[in-house]
Amino acid sequence: MTLPYETIFSRTRGRISDPKELSLDESDLLEIYTERLHNVISNPRVRRLFSSLTLDDEIQQMEFELNNSVDETSDMDFVAGILVLGMTIEWLQPQVDSIMHTSVMIGGKEEKKLLDNHKNMIDRLDSMKAELNKRIRDYGYMYNSYINTES
């Protein structure tokens, strides 16, 4: 099956509202998204879903075959959903690790935290990673060689 990068990237833009990122020119944004896509695919849990997978950055599309295919539409939606969630995680990870969020203390007699959204961002990142793992796990439970009986 063939899935254009643009399908994945446009769905990812729907989940990420980062004005700084959206202000980049198209080629830089495309390069960042392509790098994130490769990072998601390199995740062993994600890669293991596919019996074959080819990313073609020149023509901006991926060819894939799932290990336990359901049907073309379901497979495309599942793969797009997994990749969009993974790319959102790839976007959030540097935000959490950013110096802006890790050094929000001001010095003085009593140090006070100015802003405590770092904990919320860590929690959000952890919940998104858990959601990705659950989606992969649930797909594996529902569509596996024990349940799928091929004639």
pLDDT at 151: 40
pLDDT at 101: 57
pLDDT at 64: 96
The sign of the CA dihedral 73, 90, 144, 139 is negative
DSSP state for residue 4 in the 8-state scheme: E
What are the tokens at 112?
A: 């006070």
pLDDT at 125: 92
Alpha-carbon dihedral angle through residues 56, 57, 58, 63, given to the nearest 10 degrees: 20
pLDDT at 50: 95
Per-residue pLDDT of the chain (151 residues; tens, 9 = 90+): 999 999 999 999 889 888 888 889 999 999 999 999 999 999 999 999 999 999 999 999 999 999 988 899 999 999 999 999 999 999 999 888 776 655 555 455 555 555 567 788 889 999 999 999 999 999 888 887 676 555 4
- The answer to whether 11 and 66 have CB atoms below 8 angstroms apart is no
